[in-house]
Chain A
Amino acid sequence: MRNFWGHWLLLAGGLILFVVAAPMLPPSWERIELPQQKLATEEPLPAWQGPPLTAYVPPPLRPIPPDPSAQAHALPGQDAPERILLLGDSMIEWFAKRFARWCRASGYALYTVIWPSSNLIWWGTTDTLRAFIERFNPTYVLICVGGNELFIPRIEKRRPHLQHILAQIQPLPYVWIGPPAWKPDMGICAFLEDVNGPGRYYGSSRLTLERLSDGAHPTPSAAYRWADSVVAYLRDSALYPLNFPLEVSGQPSQPHYTILLSPHAP
C-alpha cells in the first residue's frame, strides 16, 4: 500500500499545485480560428487624411455580352498574378474604389460586380456568380452579400442558398465580407460566420462606420476605412492570405472592370 499512497499524494499534490498556480499559467492555445483584425471601435477614428475624393460617378451598366466568343478577348489585367472578383450589393460601391487602390499597389487585377438590393436568395438561386467566374476567370473571390437580410428572422432557412453560392465559388479561395450592419442584426452575421468558418469570414459589423443620409450605406470615407480593415484581414488573417503592402497611398482607384446589375430580383 506504500506505493499506492505515494501515487495518491502525487495526484493530490499535482491538483493542488495546478489550482494554486492557475493564475500564473499561460493562456490556453485552444482556438484554431485565425484572429480577426482587432479594431478600436470605442475611439473615434481620425478624419480621412488622403487627397480630396472625386465625385462618385456610377459605373455604366455593362451587361454580359451574349456572344460566348467574347470570353476569348483578353480583359484588362488578365495577365496579373492574382485576379480578384469582388461581388456584392450596394454596400460595396465606395468600398470597391478604395480596395482597387490596394489591388493596384499589389499588382492584382480587380473585377467588381455590384448587384444593388441583392441577397442570398438572388445569388443562391441563379448561376449569375458562376457566369462571372467563367467570364473573369478569377483566382480569388470576395463576396459581400447579406446587407439586405439583416433583419430577417430564422435566417437558417437561407442555408441552401448560401451553400449554392459557395458551391459555385469552389474550388477558388474566397473570403466572405460580412455586411456592415448599422443596427444589431437578427442572426445573419453569426450565420455567415458559422457557415464560412474562420479565415473565410470578415465580420464587418464590428466596425463603427459613419453612414450616408439613408442611415445604412457607409459614407465614402467610412467605406475606405472599411476597405483598409478588410485588406488587413486578407493580408494577416485570411485562410488564403493575399500579399497586400502595409500601407498604400494615392487616390482611390477604379477596378479593372466593373459591372452594375439591375437592382431587380432574377
Chain B
Amino acid sequence: MPLDWEAIGRALLLYDPSFPMVFPTGSFWVWCIIVLGLYGLMLQLGRRQWGLLWLLAFSVFFYYKSVGAFVGLFLLTLSVEYLLVRGMLRYPRAARAFLIAAIGVPLGFLGYFKYAGFVLENWAYLTRSAFEPPDIFLPAGISFYTFQMISYAVDVRRGTIPAGSFWEYALYISYFPQLVAGPIVRAGDFLPQLKSPRIEGEWMSSGLWLALQGLVKKVVFADYLAQYNDLIFANPTGYSGLENLFAIYGYGLQIFCDFSGYSDVAIGLGRMMGFDLRVNFTKPYLSTSITEFWRRWHISLSTWLRDYLYIPLGGNQRGPLRTYLNLLLTMLIGGLWHGASWRFVVWGGVHGLALAVHRALFGRAEPITPKPLWRKILGWVITFHLVLGLWVFFRAASFQTALQVLEKSLHIDWTYLIPFWQTRSLFVGLLVAGYLLHAVPMQSVARLEQLFARSPLAIKAVVFVVTIQLILQMRQSYVQPFIYFQF
C-alpha cells in the first residue's frame, strides 16, 4: 500500500485538535527520536547552548501541536513574565509591585480561561438571568505553567535562585515533557541542571525504563479501565450497585495510572536528556493516613501548595485553629486548581477537612514510632476508601451523578459477582493486577529498574519490543487524552 505522505506530513507538523501530540502516539515518538538524536549530536560536538535552544524550539512546537494558535498567548505570557521579573531585579524599590504583577499576569490569564465561565454561570444562576455563559477554550497545561511562573517569580524575589537568561527561563517553563501535565518543576531544581546535562548510560536506561513503565500504566491500564468506568459514570442508575462499586475502584486505579503514567514518561524523557525531574508519586494508595497520602500523591503540586500558599498563609505557626483553617483553604484552592466546578471545591474541601481532622487527632506529623499493625490496617482502609469516594466527585459529570454512583454502590447484590467476572474478566484482571503491582515495595521496583539499566543492550531491546507490542495490542484507535490535560 503506498504511503500517504501528505497525511503523514500533516500529522507530524500541523495542529489537529482531534489528535493532539501526546505521549502514546506514534507522531510523538517519531519527533522524540529526532529531537533526542539532534540534541545528543549537539552535546557530542560540545554545543550545549545549541542543544538547549533546540529543545526550546521543539518544546514550543510541541505546545503548538497541543493547543494550536494559543501558543502565541503562551509566548506572550512567558515574555511579559520574564520582563516583570527582570524589572523586579532592576528596580528594587518597585520590586513588590513587579512581583504582584508577575503573579497577577499569569493568574489573570488562568482566571479568564479557566474560571470566567464558571463565575458567569454562577452569576447567571444567582441573578436568575437567561444569560448563557460563553464556552471558553481552556489551553492545555495553563494551570501547570502558571504555577511554575509564579514560583519562579517568588523564588527570584526571595533570592533563592538567580533569574537566569531568557532562554534558560523559557526552556524551564516550556520544557516539553512536563509542559502540559506536570510534574510542576521548580526553577531551583531545573535551572542549575541546564549548565551540565547529565548524559550517562545509566540515566538513559533508567529514563527508558520509566518511559516504558509510564506508557504501560497509561495505555494498558488506564485507557482500558476507562472504557468501563466511562460507561458507568455516564449512567450510574442504569447499572447495578456492584457495577458502580467496581467503577469506583476502577477509577481510583485509572486516575493513578493515567497521571502517574504521564509523570513517569515525563521524568523518563527528562532523564534521557540528562535532566532530573522530581518524583511525583510514591505509592499513594499505600498511605495509612490522609496526611501521608498527600505526601505521596502529586508531590510536586502538594509541595508547591505548601511552599507558596500554606506557609505564606501562616502554616502551622499561628495556633491550631489557624492551622486547620490554612489546611482547609489550601486544599480548597488546590481543588479549584483542578477544575472550575463546585465538585472540585467539595473534593478539595473534604480533603482539607480530613487533613485538619487528622492533624487535630494525631498532632503535627506522623508519629515517629512505628504504628501497631491494626492501626496501620485501619488507617489504610479508611484513607483508601475516603480517597476513592472523593474521586467520584472528581470524575462524575455532576453532583447528582456522583451521589448516584455512591448511593448505588451501597446497595450490592453479590449474586452478580460471578456473572460480572465472566463478562468483564479482563477488566477485573487488570484491576486486581494494577492494585497488586501498586503494592510492590519501592525498593523492589528500584531493584528491577537497576537490573534493566545494567542488562546488555540486547536484553533491553527484547524488553522494549515486548512492551511496545503489549502497548500496541491494548491501544485504542482514538487518542485518549490524559485526565490532567483538562487541568
Contacts and interface: CB of A to CB of B under 8 A. Distances in A.
Nearest to B204: A7
B240 interface: yes
Interface residues of B, number: 52
B108 to A, nearest CB: 36
B201 A15 contact: no
B201 A2 contact: yes
Interface stretch (A45-53, A86-94, A125-133, A165-173): A165-173
A28 B33 contact: no
Contact of B200 (A3, A13, A30): A3
A58 B229 CA distance: 44
Given A163-B238, A170-B238, A197-B238, A8 B468 contact: no
Nearest to B30: A15
Contact of B33 (A12, A26, A171, A200): A12
A17 B40 contact: no
B234 interface: yes
B238 A166 contact: yes
Contacts of A196: 235, 238
B303 to A, nearest CB: 31
B179 to A, nearest CB: 21
A17 B205 CA distance: 20
Contact of B464 (A8, A14, A171): A14
B224 interface: yes
A32 B226 CA distance: 10
B438 interface: no
Contacts of A10: 208, 457, 460-461, 464
Contacts of B416: 173, 240
Contact of B231 (A12, A26, A197): A197
B465 A17 contact: yes
Contact of B241 (A3, A4, A171, A239): A171
A7 B199 contact: no
Contacts of B199: 1, 4
Contacts of B80: none
Nearest to B43: A1
Contacts of B49: none
Contact of B237 (A4, A28, A170): A170
Contact of A12 (B37, B227, B427): B37
Contact of B227 (A7, A18, A32, A173): A32
Interface stretch (B16-24, B132-140, B306-314, B469-477): B469-477
Nearest to B458: A10
A166 B224 CA distance: 26
A152 interface: no
B205 A8 contact: no
B33 A29 contact: no
Interface in B13-67: 26, 29-30, 32-33, 36-37, 40, 43-44
A7 B453 CA distance: 11
Contacts of B33: 8, 11-12, 15
Contacts of A11: 29, 32-33, 36, 208, 464
Contact of B423 (A6, A7, A23, A239): A239
Contact of B465 (A3, A14, A163): A14
Given A14-B464, A166-B235, A1 B476 contact: no
Q: Which of A2, A4, A166 has the most CB of B within 10 A?
A: A4
Given A8-B40, A28-B475, A18 B201 contact: no
B427 A32 contact: yes
A30 B40 CA distance: 36
Size category of the A interface is 35 or more
A26 B474 CA distance: 11
B250 to A, nearest CB: 11
A32 B426 contact: yes
Contact of A7 (B30, B239, B241, B272): B272
A3 B201 contact: yes
A13 B44 CA distance: 21
A123 to B, nearest CB: 14
Contacts of A197: 231, 234-235, 238-239
A198 interface: yes
A221 B241 CA distance: 39
Given A15-B29, A17-B465, A1 B427 contact: no
A64 interface: no
Contacts of A56: none
Contacts of B465: 14, 17
Interface in A158-184: 163, 166-167, 170-171, 173
A8 B472 contact: no
B234 A18 contact: no
A58 to B, nearest CB: 32
A1 to B, nearest CB: 5
Contacts of A199: 423
Interface string B148-160: 0000000000000
Contact of A8 (B36, B224, B240): B36
Contacts of A25: 469, 472
B419 interface: yes
A23 B472 CA distance: 12
A95 to B, nearest CB: 23
Contacts of A194: 234
Nearest to A164: B237
B366 interface: no
A171 B415 CA distance: 11
Given A30-B477, A195-B238, A240 B37 contact: no
B228 A32 contact: yes
A248 interface: no
B322 interface: no
Contact of B413 (A15, A171, A200): A171
User: Which 6 A-B residue pairings sit nearest by Cβ, starting from the closest?
Assistant: A3-B201, A166-B238, A32-B227, A30-B476, A197-B231, A7-B204
Interface of A: 1-8, 10-15, 17-18, 23, 25-26, 28-34, 163, 166-167, 170-171, 173, 194-200, 239-241
Interface of B: 1, 26, 29-30, 32-33, 36-37, 40, 43-44, 199-202, 204-205, 208, 224, 227-228, 231, 234-235, 237-241, 272, 408, 411, 413, 416, 419, 423-424, 426-427, 457, 460-461, 464-465, 468-469, 472-477
Given A3-B201, A3-B202, A163-B237, 8 more contacts: A10-B461, A14-B461, A15-B33, A29-B473, A166-B235, A197-B231, A197-B235, A200-B238
30 contacts: A1-B40, A1-B44, A1-B199, A2-B201, A4-B40, A4-B199, A7-B457, A10-B208, A11-B464, A12-B37, A13-B461, A14-B461, A15-B33, A17-B465, A28-B473, A30-B475, A31-B227, A33-B227, A163-B237, A163-B238, A170-B238, A170-B240, A170-B408, A171-B411, A194-B234, A197-B231, A199-B423, A239-B419, A240-B419, A240-B423
